Structure 1
């Protein structure tokens, strides 16, 4: 009898944690990235010691999956994080909404307001994910990004520079009729590629041209148990974390923020990633 009570108590606690507590958390990860990708450092516990004025900081958000279960107010933690860390550039790598067919349109105005509060001097850039396209939702998502001040890359590139660095960013949307996996390199100091489904890096014909590839899609499994770890098509090989693809190219797979199928997370808390890009000159000195 006591054993059954204990099991029931543990199961209840597990459900409360996975449906109510963990989805409301936000983990911050910070990486110091040099031109030689073999020397990537996880500086999450002391990132303030690496905040050189010459470094470019990129905030990476993915898989928000806004829905009737995951409302725009969940952006508040992310907004506070970006205010605290002051990134130079903000990037979203797909799946802004979960399913347009089920979208609560009363939340549209609030979602735009929240996305507008994300601010960065080099701008805000996004690509679409597979869920953004469900039921022709990509038309809606495109308008959301436009009203919120984001540049949406639909199989195209954008170049930008300031007094600290120059950067070329390619955004690939594999669901788009314009999909292409080949883009010419530029003379920018940093070459970035945004691709929602990380396994599609195998189709990139000039992979060594890129310094950093940002993706999501996997949710890190979303529910992780000792005997169970779900994987998603498009993220079967690259599931979460950092992967060195040769000596020059680093792939980062975000576990994302939101949820799909069930409104729960277990063992994979929502996360926002920060990349501190160290200039070539400073890397040579260090």
Structure 2
């Protein structure tokens, strides 16, 4: 294409950019947002000599009653036959979404499961200025209360364990698990002191669970000697750039750990789920497909006593990959 003057050239460039932007928005909101995928990762976190454990980590469903594609995809996850399901919260986005969540999880609710809740289990989402996400500290705005009690009752009646501010022990597939969780740190509802202390040293896996992976909470789990912490909330950044990654994490966690496995401190592993849904007011994903993760937990090398088991050892908030 040849332009006869600079003004026409500028108009052509602007039109091209606008067209590209429209295509990007259409792709992010219509295609990638519904391109559900299963991630798989192997994490060496079990005590030496332990057999492996398959854990399905799901998070951030943000369910609306009419989201049939999402619901059908969730139903298929039971075919993976995980040993344990861990749900790290933000299941709801609508007052009438509880039946859709319960029905779509289907057979997974008949398997051993653990859960904590997030902000969008307690409160409905509201429209927000997206620029607020670039400020780590900004005023939270909440929508109408959601029926989280009904969801908790439905999960509990089917055998899943609520680990909010509770320490529990269970045995799954021959693996003894000592687990504990906190309420949503994003809402500053976490009260780690209610679960503080070293988990049972006889357990094959010491598992911490939180919705938002706030460093202050991750530090406490690491200090107490937990092997693995599972979290959600970040949506993996939701809108990411090629070769750069997430723009924001929506919490104090650094961008390099916005999704997937990483290390926290010397001995604790972290897994952050990029989540399955989005807010109805920001229904788009770019370079960050919605996901669930099948974690294969295997025995870790014998590394000797963990720092969290040695009294008097000071720790920093530094994160090591």
In the other structure, the counterpart of 1:207 is 223
CA distance in 2, matches of 1:126, 1:171: 8
Q: Check conservation: 1:208, 1:248, Cα contact below 8 A.
A: no
5 Å matches for 1:6-45? Answer: 6-35=16-45
Instruction: Name the SS for the 1:20 alignment partner.
Output: helix
The C-alpha deviation readout for 1:129-176, integer Å capped at 9, x for no partner, is: 122222443324323433554322221022111562211111211458
Q: Check conservation: 1:72, 1:111, Cα contact below 8 A.
A: no
5 Å matches for 1:68-107? Answer: 71=67, 73-83=69-79, 85-98=80-93, 103-105=94-96, 107=97
CA distance in 2, matches of 1:89, 1:262: 31
5 Å matches for 1:47-62? Answer: 54-62=51-59
Asked if 1:65 corresponds to 2:79, the answer is no
CA distance in 2, matches of 1:205, 1:161: 21
**In structure 2, do the counterparts of structure 1 residues 74 and 7 end up closer, same or farther at CA, with 3 Å as the change threshold?**
same
In the other structure, the counterpart of 2:174 is 164
Number of aligned pairs? 259
**In structure 2, do the counterparts of structure 1 residues 256 and 163 end up closer, same or farther at CA, with 3 Å as the change threshold?**
closer
- Return 5+ residue gaps in structure 2 as ranges: 1-10, 124-143, 303-321
**In structure 2, do the counterparts of structure 1 residues 218 and 158 end up closer, same or farther at CA, with 3 Å as the change threshold?**
same
Instruction: Name the SS for the 1:7 alignment partner.
Output: helix
Q: Check conservation: 2:109, 2:159, Cα contact below 8 A.
A: no
In the other structure, the counterpart of 1:49 is none
- Return 5+ residue gaps in structure 1 as ranges: 38-52
In the other structure, the counterpart of 2:238 is 222
**In structure 2, do the counterparts of structure 1 residues 31 and 120 end up closer, same or farther at CA, with 3 Å as the change threshold?**
farther
CA distance in 1, matches of 2:120, 2:204: 33
CA distance in 1, matches of 2:219, 2:266: 18
CA RMSD of aligned residues (A): 3.0
Instruction: Name the SS for the 2:209 alignment partner.
Output: strand
CA distance in 1, matches of 2:53, 2:160: 19
Instruction: Name the SS for the 2:282 alignment partner.
Output: coil
In the other structure, the counterpart of 1:139 is 149
Larger Rg: 2
Structure 1 residue 248 displacement after superposition: 1.8
Q: Which moved more, 1:1-10 or 1:53-62?
A: 1-10
Q: Check conservation: 1:207, 1:249, Cα contact below 8 A.
A: no
